[in-house]
Amino acid sequence: MAVPVRAYLSIGEVLSKLRSEFSDITISKIRFLESEGLIEPQRTPSGYRKFTNSDLERLRFVLLAQRDQYLPLRVIKDNLDALDRGLVPSLTVGGIATPRLATSDGVPSDIAAAEQDLRLTRNELISAAQISDEQLTEYESYGLISIRGRHYDGDALAIAKNIVAISEFGIRARHLRVFKTAADREVGLVEQVTTSIRSQKGSESKAKADEVEKELASLSIKLHASLVRAGLHRSK
């Protein structure tokens, strides 16, 4: 019978995998980096550390930043936080991290940005969307953008960039409240369908509801675009 492969590594196995690349690595150093919050391996019931491949790559990132860039742990920790939030760390100390956007033919995709698990600070959103603090405050006052918890998400970035693009045609943020009202109504319709699915018994109900939600969202966007296009054609 084949022996199942463990989904985690012991601290000794991690040391073995890293030693050829980092000759000065020790178990004490790994424990120190853990105590500083740079890595957070899980523990077995008996207290032994369990490292995943993700932990291993995170540790490798820290060691490379120390060896090749001479970065202090505080800066490395900030860079790791940026990576955890879907960002590319700044190349300069104190710089603002930027969203790690998927691209199509070299052009960043707003839809891809919205689908990522981005978590942006206010300054990061302002920088990525190329807007001012006053503009963001205005968008928020009209309910076009809102913060979720302590961060703004990829949807907020996509919305901000679209508002900026539309404003080039002389349409101001206050005029876009009709889009927000229409979107809220569409969300209500989608939730009427998915709520009943989520309330069903069984482990697959949530997954099914999520898929239906994505499909209805895509269809509603297409329908909205078609209706606008048809309306413009009738006005000619």
| 66 contacts 76 by C-beta, under 8 angstroms | yes
Report which residue type is found at 174: R
Span 8-35, mean pLDDT? Answer: 94
- In angstroms, the first-to-last Cα distance of the chain is 74
Q: For the segment 174-193, what is each residue's pLDDT rounded down to a tens digit?
A: 999 999 999 999 999 999 99
pLDDT for 108 equals 45
Q: Is the pLDDT of residue 131 over 90?
A: yes
pLDDT averaged over the chain? Answer: 87
Q: Give the largest CA-CA distance in the chain.
A: 75
202: CB partners within 8 A, 6+ apart: none
- In this model, does residue 90 exceed pLDDT 90? no
Q: Which domains does the chain have, with CATH numbers?
A: 11-84 (1.10.1660.10), 93-171 (1.10.1660), 174-236 (no CATH)
| Segment among 60-74, 78-92, 94-108 with least mean pLDDT | 94-108
pTM: predicted TM-score of the whole model, two decimal places: 0.70
Confidence of residue 12 (pLDDT cuts 50, 70, 90): very high
37 has a pLDDT exceeding 50: yes
87 strand-pairing partners:
99
Query: Radius of gyration (Cα) for the chain, nearest Å?
Result: 23
Residue 101: per-residue pLDDT: 57
Are 112 and 119 spatial neighbours (Cβ–Cβ below 8 Å)? no
Query: Could you report the per-residue pLDDT of 137-179, keeping only the tens digit for each?
Result: 999 999 999 999 999 999 999 999 999 999 999 999 999 999 9
Per-residue pLDDT tens digits for 72-85: 999 999 999 989 89
Contact present, 197 and 208 (Cβ < 8 Å): yes
